[in-house]
Chain A
Amino acid sequence: MNMLVCIKQVPDTTEIKINPETNTLIREGVPSIVNTFDAFALEMAARIKDANSGSKIVVVSMGPEQAKNALKECLAVGGDKAYLISDRAFGGSDTLATSYILSKAVAKLEELEGKFDIIFCGKQAIDGDTAQVGPELAEHLDYPQITYAVDAFAEGDSVRVKRECAEGYEVLAAKMPCVVTVTKPNYDPRYPTIKTKMAANRAQIPVLTSQDFEIDLQHAGLKGSPTKVKKTFTPNLQKDSVMIEEETCEAAGQKLAKLLGDAGII
């Protein structure tokens, strides 16, 4: 199996705090991590690699030079080769423009690394939370897609995927090549060893710019993005709470039931 895993370097949103005076995000000191769902996607690919000898995993990210660190982390836990797609002309891309750039980069990567059987993406990035780049990439490539995967297996010329759906789960099969987006499986990403970590740190990560592959820049960056951000603001979730603190739990439970009953909530 020749697999491509698309990853994004994101701020660890669990560490983000709001500056109460300016009501803006405090980004300083917030660590950058491999997007959680992309790490799951890489692990899913790595398990397919373990089960199918001769497999290869190429990892790709679009972002600034700094994203090489995230790619190196991926090389330590299953990735065999990594590429960074980076160009000022790509800045400000929304999901349609990002997925277009990625689709054009895939064509170039296939010249270098051979045709990919499965392209894995995390279901969404934890900063933007759109869950759109994977399906839009599949559409640009005209590949079948399976989203919300919790497990995937290669079977002959098909991939078999268990995915979350309204009923619980469904198992789908699709002929390769195919795009699979990954939610949380019931396993965790593997840990790097000292050896894999050292090798990853030494790895050279080629950078592909708009000069290196065929792309129409009209469809990239801000110019190629149909959506525009009008404004951002911090949400105010704070409510006027009725606090119940009684001597005994019995009294607290009774008071809560009475309040909910009186308010017509139950």
Chain B
Amino acid sequence: MEAKNKDLWVFIETDGDGRARSVGLELLGPGRELADQQGGKLVGIVIGSGVDEAIKSAAAYGADKIVVIDGAEYAHYTTDAYVDAFNTLVEKDTPTTIFIGATNTGRDMAPRLACRLKTGLTADCTGLAIDEESGNMAWTRPAFGGNLMATILCPDQRPQIGTVRPGVFKKGEPDAVRQAEIVQEDIRVPAGRIRTKLIEVISELGGALVDLEGAEIIVSGGRGVGGPEGFEPLRALAAALGATVGASRAAVDSDWIPHAHQVGQTGKTVGPKLYIACGISGAIQHLAGMSGSDCIVAINKDPDAPIFKVADYGVIGDLKEIVPILTEEIKKLKA
């Protein structure tokens, strides 16, 4: 397929209440810069039901144009409805580039869409640039559990599509009075096309959402916390900071905390402003999931733990003593 314009599209994923999830707004930042370099518009694609809030956010964070597909069939994400709708949009007005957040939803939808369009897709990117030689997007991503980085091009097919890891790019400053061109597209997907049926949604921990990807601060525990009760002081620290609790694979595999809290290659990839790793040794699979954090604090007894290599602040000592003291000090600072 050939591009019909030089535009760059960003998928603005919405939540159940029609608000934009963080990752789409984050991607409008690099999207703005790269759309300018491509010489096209920055377009936000909003699919959902009752999505006025998401449209406002996309405008405030820098989209020139927002294409909206609004319908009851999009209220809850389904592969078939979203891929059909997105594919219809692309066939109509094929852009040069599409960014999609690498959330569970984005990584469910993007490959199906790319395959239908017979184009290339690069997964879970952490670096976005224009390749100087060819003018293609240069997608940079980790592979081999974070041991290796690869830069991928899609030279001949359009659109070139990438999913981008949440938290790698930080949201810009919103401008509430900024105006964007809004285009409503009337694309309906018949119920018979949607081949998966939602039976129920099970919120983790009695409805308390574990939003690691959107968290600004994460307090994370590993084998060193010692047991399920060892997470209690971490929860107290998280409460004092307004943070979300994360965990390493070792803690999850020991059944100390549910998998929804897991950070790393087999869990969530995160990029908060502050990541406090308590009793986490720092296996490469864990680092792959959190090394994009702005500031990393590591608390560990073992001075040789690999986590200290990626830490901005490293504390050598017993987390069971240090974490409660840190919690008290932070309460004092915030008081």
Binding site for B on A (CB under 8 A): 11, 13-14, 16, 18, 25, 36, 94-96, 99, 126-136, 138-140, 144-148, 150, 160, 162-175, 178, 183-184, 186, 225-235, 237-239, 241-246, 249-250, 252-254, 256-261, 263, 265-266
Closest 4 CB pairs of A and B: A253-B325, A257-B329, A226-B120, A168-B204
* Interface hit among B64-72, B144-152, B173-181: B144-152
Q: How far is the CA of A223 from the CA of B153 in the complex (A)?
A: 14
- Docked-complex contact A13 and B285, CB < 8 angstroms: yes
20 contacts between A and B (CB under 8 A): A96-B118, A129-B124, A130-B123, A136-B112, A145-B79, A147-B108, A165-B105, A171-B201, A174-B195, A230-B151, A232-B148, A232-B151, A233-B148, A234-B148, A237-B287, A238-B309, A239-B309, A241-B312, A245-B316, A266-B334
Q: How far is the CA of A129 from the CA of B105 in the complex (A)?
A: 16
- Docked-complex contact A256 and B16, CB < 8 angstroms: no
Q: 8 Å CB contacts to A: which residues of B79-103?
A: 79-80, 103
- Docked-complex contact A265 and B274, CB < 8 angstroms: yes
A107 → chain B closest CB, angstroms: 17
- Docked-complex contact B197 and A147, CB < 8 angstroms: no
- Docked-complex contact A173 and B196, CB < 8 angstroms: yes
Q: Contacting A239 at CB < 8 Å: which of B151, B154, B284, B311? A: B311
- Docked-complex contact B15 and A257, CB < 8 angstroms: no
- Docked-complex contact A227 and B152, CB < 8 angstroms: yes
Chain A, interface SS category: mixed
- Docked-complex contact B198 and A170, CB < 8 angstroms: yes
A264 → chain B closest CB, angstroms: 10
Known: A184-B259, A256-B313. A234 touches B147 (CB 8 A): yes
Q: How far is the CA of A228 from the CA of B152 in the complex (A)?
A: 6
Binding site for A on B (CB under 8 A): 15-16, 21, 77, 79-80, 103-105, 107-108, 110-112, 114-116, 118-124, 131, 138, 141-157, 195-205, 209-211, 217, 241, 259-260, 265-266, 273-274, 283-285, 287, 291, 295-297, 299, 303, 308-318, 321-326, 328-330, 333-334
Closest to B133 in A: A230
- Docked-complex contact B285 and A230, CB < 8 angstroms: no
**Which of chain B's residues have a CB closer than 8 A to the CB of A237?**
287, 291, 309-310
- Docked-complex contact A226 and B157, CB < 8 angstroms: yes
A97 → chain B closest CB, angstroms: 10
Q: How far is the CA of A66 from the CA of B296 in the complex (A)?
A: 41
- Docked-complex contact B201 and A14, CB < 8 angstroms: no
- Docked-complex contact A227 and B297, CB < 8 angstroms: no
Q: Contacting B115 at CB < 8 Å: which of A126, A140, A144, A232? A: A140
- Docked-complex contact A254 and B325, CB < 8 angstroms: yes
B74 → chain A closest CB, angstroms: 15
- Docked-complex contact B145 and A16, CB < 8 angstroms: yes
**Which of chain B's residues have a CB closer than 8 A to the CB of A172?**
196-199
Closest to B202 in A: A169
**Which of chain A's residues have a CB closer than 8 A to the CB of B145?**
13-14, 16, 126-127, 129
- Docked-complex contact B309 and A166, CB < 8 angstroms: no
Q: How far is the CA of A171 from the CA of B105 in the complex (A)?
A: 15
Closest to A36 in B: B266
- Docked-complex contact B104 and A164, CB < 8 angstroms: yes
Q: How far is the CA of A230 from the CA of B152 in the complex (A)?
A: 5
- Docked-complex contact B313 and A135, CB < 8 angstroms: no
Known: A99-B115, A168-B209. A233 touches B149 (CB 8 A): yes
Closest to A235 in B: B149
- Docked-complex contact A135 and B111, CB < 8 angstroms: yes
- Docked-complex contact A266 and B330, CB < 8 angstroms: yes
- Docked-complex contact A145 and B112, CB < 8 angstroms: yes
Q: Contacting B199 at CB < 8 Å: which of A95, A160, A227, A246? A: A160
Of listed B154, B198, B329, residue having the most chain A CB within 10 A: B329
Q: How far is the CA of A245 from the CA of B131 in the complex (A)?
A: 45
**Which of chain A's residues have a CB closer than 8 A to the CB of B123?**
95, 129-132
Q: How far is the CA of A172 from the CA of B203 in the complex (A)?
A: 14
Closest to A13 in B: B145
9 more contacts with CB within 8 A, not counting A132-B110, A249-B317, are: A132-B121, A139-B112, A145-B108, A160-B199, A166-B103, A226-B120, A234-B149, A256-B315, A258-B329
- Docked-complex contact B197 and A227, CB < 8 angstroms: no
**Which of chain A's residues have a CB closer than 8 A to the CB of B122?**
227
Known: A94-B120, A174-B197, A226-B118. A168 touches B260 (CB 8 A): yes
